[in-house]
Amino acid sequence: MDSVITYIKSNFNSYVEELKEYIRIPSVSTTASYKNDVLRCADFVAEKLRTSGMTHVEIFPTEGYPLVYGEWLGQPGKPTVLIYGHYDVQPADPLELWTSDPFEPVIRDGKIWARGSDDNKGQNFIHIKAVEAFFKTKGTLPVNVKFILEGEEENGSESITKFIGKNRELLSCDAVLISDTSMYGPGIPTITYAVRGLLYMEVEVIGPDKDLHSGSFGGAVANPINELARIISQLHDKNGKVTIPNFYKKVQVISKAEKENFKRLKFSDKKYSKEIGVKELYGEKGYTTLERLWTRPTLDCNGIYGGFTEEGAKTVLPSKAAAKISMRLVPDQNPVQIAKDFIKHIKSLTPKTIKVNIKNMHHGLAAVVPFGSKALDAAATAGSKAFGKKTVFTREGGSIPIVVDFMNNLKAPVVMMGFGLDSDDIHSPNEHFHLENFEKGLYASAYFLDEFSKL
Ligand code: BES
Ligand code: MN
């Protein structure tokens, strides 16, 4: 292994340069105007897989964005790992809050700053380059490797979900490896064994059929923004619980053993609130912060709009208002059922004075990965070797909807070994990725392939 690690060290700077090229492609999947860039990014990834040494690389078109597949199956008898990642990114806005151009990566303070630097380009590029380093030093890989990269993760993963169901043979493997999560703290190798699910809804309320003068009409006509705000304010009770009927019905209670594990992680509310710049934390009564983040479902407004929001003051009673509302879900909540309950609940809160349209934008299930798989052990060992510390096991508040589909369709353990930090500002302005984690991630990926081959 020493030769592989040495090779990675001496080529690290060129990996950073290549990552910059990857990041310069603004592959924002949720915004239609970036379509050509997302497509261009798929080609870029395919080319990188080819030069990494994958022998069969294919771009599979879908109804949405293409899937990029690559494989090298030169070790019959050895296990196969399927490495998943996503080449699409979140929108960069609000642009004015970025210190440097979101799609022109710069290196500052040992970090690479740009949209996608962590989530997920930096993280998936790790595996592409680790594989390449193996080929360059040994001419072979210790295990069989398949890659699948999608371009719709930040927008619901619809196409890959369909694809997995129809291509079980192509994707068959002994483990799925995903680097799209965070480490518990700087320098701490981390395996994430659970992600929350997600249900994303849009609620539009409509009052008068056009904007009206707020003096001539205000007081006589219901204001859609006022009414929407009233509806939203009723979605939580005074204990921070979501008021949708049956919302908590299927929620699993966590075991004592897990609670103990959380305690061992020594989470500090004080440090956490300081890091994110809030005076005090807030959440569902009766639970610790880690429990709230990792094991409890939530409901949040992601955006609210309507009426006049430009500079100056315009007296207007708006015709419409809308909110984007998401719910993070936990096992065994069913997003389809909850969407129905949500719609019913919103309708029951809507006064006769306004119309309401409710849309389910996308949803995905929560996942908990069972302990005790050889792949998980191999990853824990690999992480420890790379970072020189014991690997810890965490859950995650965020979502990777495809995890459950991999588990159900491929019957293989899913290993989530991420190299980001919660402070990397993914989805926020000034996203960045620590070069140290990029480098140690490369080691961890190489060690994983080696450890996995020993099983
Ligand atoms: N990389 C994230 C998942 C994640 C979030 C990991 C936070 C660690 C910390 C992933 O790309 C993501 O953002 N997923 C979306 C999924 C959604 C759009 C279906 C999310 O969690 O919002
Ligand atoms: Mn991601």
Quote the mean pLDDT of the chain: 97
Mind listing the pLDDT tens digit for each residue in 308-343? 999 999 999 999 999 999 999 999 999 999 999 999
CB atoms within 10 A of CB 301: 14
Cβ atoms of residues 189 and 436 within 8 Å = no
Query: Which ligand has an atom closest to residue 29 CA?
Result: 1
Ligand 2 centroid to Cα of residue 27, in Å, is 13
What is the model's pTM?
0.93
**pLDDT in the model for residue 404:** 96
Nearest 10 degrees: Cα torsion 105, 107, 108, 109 = 130
Q: Is the pLDDT of residue 378 over 90?
A: yes
Report residue 156's pLDDT band, with 50, 70 and 90 as the boundaries: confident
Check if 424 has its Cβ closer than 6 Å to any atom of ligand 1: no
Check if 29 has its Cβ closer than 6 Å to any atom of ligand 1: no
Ligand 2 centroid to Cα of residue 124, in Å, is 10
Cβ neighbourhood burial of 336 (10 Å; 0-12, 13-18, 19+) = exposed
- Measured in degrees and rounded to the nearest 5, phi and psi for residue 4 equal -65, -45
∠ CA 220-222-225 to the nearest 5 degrees? 140
Candidate of 65, 180, 193 to mutate for ligand 1, largest count of ligand atoms within 8 Å of Cβ:
180
Cβ atoms of residues 444 and 386 within 8 Å = yes
Cβ atoms of residues 409 and 97 within 8 Å = no
Ligand 1 centroid to Cα of residue 315, in Å, is 39
Cβ atoms of residues 116 and 19 within 8 Å = no
Q: Is the pLDDT of residue 307 over 90?
A: yes
DSSP string, 237-270: -TTS-B-STTTTTTPPPPPHHHHHHHHHT---HH
Check if 145 has its Cβ closer than 6 Å to any atom of ligand 1: no
**pLDDT in the model for residue 202:** 98
Average pLDDT over residues 403-415: 97
Average pLDDT over residues 162-174: 98
Give the separation between CA 77 and CA 51, rounded to whole angstroms. Answer: 25
Nearest 10 degrees: Cα torsion 87, 66, 195, 328 = 100
Long-range contacts of 336-344 (CB under 8 A, 24+ apart): 336/363, 337/246, 338/199, 338/244, 338/247, 339/199, 339/201, 339/363, 341/244, 341/245, 341/246, 341/247, 342/199, 342/201, 342/244, 343/201, 344/245
Average pLDDT over residues 35-64: 98
Q: Which atom of ligand 1 is nearest to the CA of 118?
A: 1
**pLDDT in the model for residue 392:** 96
The helix or strand, by DSSP H or E, that contains position 437, with its residue range, turns out to be helix 435-453
Give the separation between CA 15 and CA 256, rounded to whole angstroms. Answer: 44
Q: Which atom of ligand 1 is nearest to the CA of 328?
A: 21
Ligand 1 centroid to Cα of residue 152, in Å, is 12
**pLDDT in the model for residue 276:** 87
Cβ atoms of residues 194 and 396 within 8 Å = yes
Coil vs helix vs strand at 106: strand
Check if 367 has its Cβ closer than 6 Å to any atom of ligand 1: no
Average pLDDT over residues 291-318: 97
Going by alpha carbons, the residue nearest to atom 6 of ligand 1 is 181
∠ CA 417-153-106 to the nearest 5 degrees? 70
Return the structure tokens found at 120: 């997920």
pLDDT over 90, % of the chain: 98
The helix or strand, by DSSP H or E, that contains position 407, with its residue range, turns out to be helix 402-410
Ligand 1 centroid to Cα of residue 369, in Å, is 17
Going by alpha carbons, the residue nearest to atom 5 of ligand 1 is 398
Going by alpha carbons, the residue nearest to atom 8 of ligand 1 is 181
Going by alpha carbons, the residue nearest to atom 18 of ligand 1 is 154
Give the separation between CA 292 and CA 282, rounded to whole angstroms. Answer: 10
Q: Is the pLDDT of residue 455 over 90?
A: no
Count of residues in the chain:
455
Candidate of 29, 154, 160, 402 to mutate for ligand 1, largest count of ligand atoms within 8 Å of Cβ:
154
Q: Which atom of ligand 1 is nearest to the CA of 198?
A: 19
Ligand 2 centroid to Cα of residue 253, in Å, is 27
Give the separation between CA 430 and CA 424, rounded to whole angstroms. Answer: 8
CB atoms within 10 A of CB 430: 17
Ligand 1 centroid to Cα of residue 397, in Å, is 9
- Measured in degrees and rounded to the nearest 5, phi and psi for residue 26 equal -80, 80
Closest-CA residue to 434 (of 182, 90, 91): 182
Going by alpha carbons, the residue nearest to atom 13 of ligand 1 is 154
Check if 227 has its Cβ closer than 6 Å to any atom of ligand 1: no
Ligand 2 centroid to Cα of residue 409, in Å, is 21
CA 378 to chain centre: 23
Check if 180 has its Cβ closer than 6 Å to any atom of ligand 1: yes
